[in-house]
Amino acid sequence: MTRHKQEQDPATDTIEDLGSGVLRTQLPVNFTGLGHVNMYVLLDRNGAAVVDPGMPRRSSYRAVVDRLGRCGLRVRDVHTVIVTHAHPDHFGGAGRLAEESGAALLAHRSFRIPWLRGAEPDVVADDDELGHGVDATAAGLRVPWRAPSDRLPPPGLSRELPAPARRLAFALMQRVMRPPQPTRTLDDGDHLTLCDDEWTVLHTPGHTGDHICLHNPSSGLLLSGDHVLPSITPHISGMEAGADPLDSYFGALRRVAELPTSTKVFPAHGQPFGGLAERVSAILAHHEVRLARLEAIAGEIGAATVTTYTSELFPARHQGLMAESETFAHLEHLRRKGALTVERGEVLRYRLSAPAATR
């Protein structure tokens, strides 16, 4: 039996005043098992900045306007729209809101959609959590993998669509999920004036390569996006840009864990929480368990494909593109650390590295 997670709670129209000029609103999301996305409204003397204005749907945008009204604001009062990362439940309403309000649209300089050639969802459940990963095959969106930066061959997922149907599916997805064009790009360490105070941009890659958090040192607030969630472990994609997305994520997690112990975390899904360092430790431990399990599987089955490892690592209810993508990221991390080697053919096969004495 699976356990309900707070990130799955349906959106409410309640406006929560979190202090220091930050309001938390919720927008409805029916996306990879999530029930809502937190849209934060940051008030100042000139109006408001909005962070992560939901999905690219008319109904979601109507909710954006409704929540602004409940905050005592009109669309034209929004002067800044900030997107924490390039997933549609975060950027979906950003382009329209920026256009209708005349607001600046801010995102990291590497803001991009890594799965415009594919269909990558947002958050994956842990083994003991609700299996809300989308079965991409059933959805007609099973896609080939994009190789990592060293241009390994794709791992050869099964049951791919014929090329014409795949191109059509991708074209439709690109049209629906097309990201907005930022008017200003952000870098790690940039400073923004929000809530009439200075906030710092933290580049926190892993969940996506472009992910950012926003930190206000004076109030101790951290808008964490999907980098750290209260009860679900964010998905780490093997399709993501970068040599080792999992290693990037580990480094970014440890970085935010060094923030003051009094830091209050405002995530993109779920309730605000404290104990950031403890939550980071739990997420790191989860991934270490997964890496150890993959090494053990490699010892049991020998050279095998990503799909085979996935079937051994995840229960049946979690099978699908998300699970394979997550497995690929972990296998590549182990390969880069020397624990695994890969046979490079039409289909990648990973196996344990030979002991040093027999190499």
Distance in angstroms (rounded) separating the CA atoms of residues 246 and 333:
7
Per-residue pLDDT tens digits for 45-71: 999 999 999 999 999 999 999 999 999
Pick the residue with more confidence: 155 or 281? 281
Distance in angstroms (rounded) separating the CA atoms of residues 156 and 237:
16
- The number of beta carbons lying within 10 Å of the beta carbon of residue 165 is 11
Token digits of residue 346: 């039409």
Beta bridge partners of 105: 81
List C-alpha distances in Å: 98 to 38, 50, 152, 194, 304.
18, 10, 39, 17, 48
Closest by alpha carbon to 348, among 122, 185, 85, 147? 147
Task: Please report, rounded to a whole number, the percentage of residues in the chain having pLDDT higher than 90.
Answer: 68
336 has pLDDT over 60: yes
Kindly report which listed range (162-176, 288-302, 338-352) carries the lowest average pLDDT score: 162-176
Classify residue 359 as exposed, middle or buried by CB count within 10 Å of its CB (0-12, 13-18, 19+).
exposed
* Domains of the chain, each with CATH number or no CATH: 6-112+178-281 (3.60.15.10)
> DSSP assignment, residue 273?
B
- Write down the residue that tokens 């990648």 correspond to: 348
Distance in angstroms (rounded) separating the CA atoms of residues 94 and 151:
33
Per-residue pLDDT tens digits for 322-335: 888 899 999 999 99
Distance in angstroms (rounded) separating the CA atoms of residues 68 and 73:
5
Beta bridge partners of 235: none
- The C-alpha angle 54, 108, 119, rounded to 5 degrees, equals 55
Task: Please report, rounded to a whole number, the percentage of residues in the chain having pLDDT higher than 70.
Answer: 79
Q: What is the pTM of this model?
A: 0.84
Kindly report which listed range (209-218, 265-274, 303-312, 344-353) carries the lowest average pLDDT score: 344-353
136 has pLDDT over 80: no
Distance in angstroms (rounded) separating the CA atoms of residues 141 and 317:
18
Token digits of residue 207: 């969940």
Work out whether strand 34-44 and strand 197-203 pair parallel, antiparallel, or are unpaired.
Answer: unpaired
- pLDDT category, 338, cuts 50, 70, 90? very high
Helices (H), the chain: 58-70, 88-91, 94-101, 163-176, 245-257, 276-301, 306-313, 321-336
Work out whether strand 16-19 and strand 22-31 pair parallel, antiparallel, or are unpaired.
Answer: antiparallel
- The whole-chain average pLDDT of the chain stands at 83
Distance in angstroms (rounded) separating the CA atoms of residues 191 and 202:
10
Helices (H), 162-305: 163-176, 245-257, 276-301
For residue 245, give the 3-state DSSP assignment.
Answer: helix
Pick the residue with more confidence: 180 or 243? 180
Amino acid found at 167: R
Mean predicted confidence (pLDDT) in 298-322? 89
Per-residue pLDDT tens digits for 1-39: 457 899 999 999 999 999 999 999 999 997 777 999 999
CA 297 to chain CA mean position, Å:
27
- pLDDT category, 132, cuts 50, 70, 90? very low
Distance in angstroms (rounded) separating the CA atoms of residues 36 and 129:
17
135 has pLDDT over 50: no
Mean predicted confidence (pLDDT) in 220-227? 98
Mean predicted confidence (pLDDT) in 164-187? 68
Sign of CA pseudo-dihedral 283, 288, 293, 294: positive
Q: What is the pLDDT of residue 114?
A: 54
Distance in angstroms (rounded) separating the CA atoms of residues 31 and 132:
9
Distance in angstroms (rounded) separating the CA atoms of residues 47 and 30:
30
Closest by alpha carbon to 22, among 35, 41, 6? 41
- The number of beta carbons lying within 10 Å of the beta carbon of residue 331 is 28
Mean predicted confidence (pLDDT) in 283-297? 97
